[in-house]
Structure 1
């Protein structure tokens, strides 16, 4: 089990919303002028769902954006973190605590399942995907976002680290999903992380590794680093 999937590490990471909020603030569109969240939301909306389940909903901002786009949809957000569930509810989104590996819902209950930047955290990826298949209706859609192995690689290397290679990246996501779904379509989306100064870049790194934050060499002024993300739609 790697550190990204260790339950105690994940629990500590998401016990409060601060880390996730810090990471959200620096990201903007890349050369295409679109964000992966926009691409993911379009995939959900275009499926014309009646019922949507989101696993690992974080602070609820994606869920809120889908509800703003299609207010009539029955959207249920879940997360293992009580803090994330509370933050999501504060945005007016229905949310409950639940593990993605053991979803407390009947089979064939949802038209779409959303897993945004979270499948690299689940301890048992295969079991999670089996649960997703179980709760999806026939012809249902799994909409996923994840990062590539070179995501923020230059920043991590500058701090003496190395790119984060997880169990579910842009490079291996299609193969993982293909074991459980008949069709998988992937779109890669480049993004940009902009830090106004050294302190903000170190603060970002500190949200997941204080050692890297302390080791980041000082720099003056603003810096921008490339992000590499993929959105996948599995049926």
Structure 2
């Protein structure tokens, strides 16, 4: 889907925090009893970075959670959206506006990097990974979260859509990262999205596919759908 990487479209999507907060609010742990964000945070903290950059930080909640566990980390969050940077700063996290493929930092500035649920959005995927590699010191790690093609696919099909296929998803993430990093480790986590009713499901779909929100057949009561996420560490 070309709009997934179109900067004008992304500017509309992430010009404010409301859409992202609506999407975040429905997700909970799956059969393992853990959330992908918890697994990702554990991966980041256990790598013991001294200086960490996050690209595409969103509302800053992940950055804040890392700093609560590892307050000594020099954490720098970046995002293309001024609204997201403002929200992140409001949580007490250092943040600045920056494009993922043009980071305003010197070579080898960081020993850790995070890209959570955002690499499917960048216009130049390999260029972005080269840029992340540039600002990482030798031996530094990139921690990534992304979804699979069957992520929330039952809901999308019910609304008359198709599973979302992106440029960077569980199915190809290892191969893509392997073009830039020597070692890649992966863990898959199944999650659950729970909607209180039809209106809540439509509100979720409307944040990225209004036409699907309009075509979702009515249903009564709550519904739960499976999500599929991969967490990867590359170095």
The whole-number CA distance in structure 2 between the counterparts of 1:23 and 1:126 is 27
The corresponding residue for 1:157 is 157
Output one character per residue of 1:161-193: Cα deviation in whole Å (capped at 9) or x when no partner: 011100000000000000000000010000000
The corresponding residue for 1:220 is 220
The corresponding residue for 1:205 is 205
Q: How far did 1:142 drift?
A: 0.1
Aligned ranges for residues 94-133 of structure 1 at < 5 Å?
A: 94-133=94-133
Output one character per residue of 1:104-127: Cα deviation in whole Å (capped at 9) or x when no partner: 100111011000000000000000
The whole-number CA distance in structure 1 between the counterparts of 2:3 and 2:166 is 9
Q: How far did 1:3 drift?
A: 1.4
Aligned ranges for residues 57-68 of structure 1 at < 5 Å?
A: 57-68=57-68
Aligned ranges for residues 178-193 of structure 1 at < 5 Å?
A: 178-193=178-193
Unaligned runs of 5+ in 1: none
* 3-state secondary structure, aligned to 2:192: strand
Q: How far did 1:80 drift?
A: 0.3
The corresponding residue for 1:137 is 137
* 3-state secondary structure, aligned to 2:54: strand
Output one character per residue of 1:13-59: Cα deviation in whole Å (capped at 9) or x when no partner: 00000000000000000000000001100111011110000000000
The whole-number CA distance in structure 1 between the counterparts of 2:12 and 2:174 is 29
Unaligned runs of 5+ in 2: none
* 3-state secondary structure, aligned to 1:174: helix
* 3-state secondary structure, aligned to 1:115: strand
Output one character per residue of 1:65-96: Cα deviation in whole Å (capped at 9) or x when no partner: 00000001100000000000000001110100
Q: How far did 1:130 drift?
A: 0.2
The whole-number CA distance in structure 2 between the counterparts of 1:16 and 1:185 is 33
Structure-2-length-normalised TM-score: 0.99
The corresponding residue for 2:92 is 92
The corresponding residue for 2:13 is 13
Stretches (4+) displaced over 3 A: none
Q: How far did 1:227 drift?
A: 0.2
The whole-number CA distance in structure 2 between the counterparts of 1:57 and 1:87 is 10
Output one character per residue of 1:189-223: Cα deviation in whole Å (capped at 9) or x when no partner: 00000001000000000000111001000000000
The corresponding residue for 2:73 is 73
The whole-number CA distance in structure 1 between the counterparts of 2:151 and 2:58 is 20
The corresponding residue for 2:25 is 25
Q: What's the C-alpha RMSD, in Å, of the aligned pairs? A: 0.6
* 3-state secondary structure, aligned to 1:189: strand
The number of residues matched between the two structures is 235
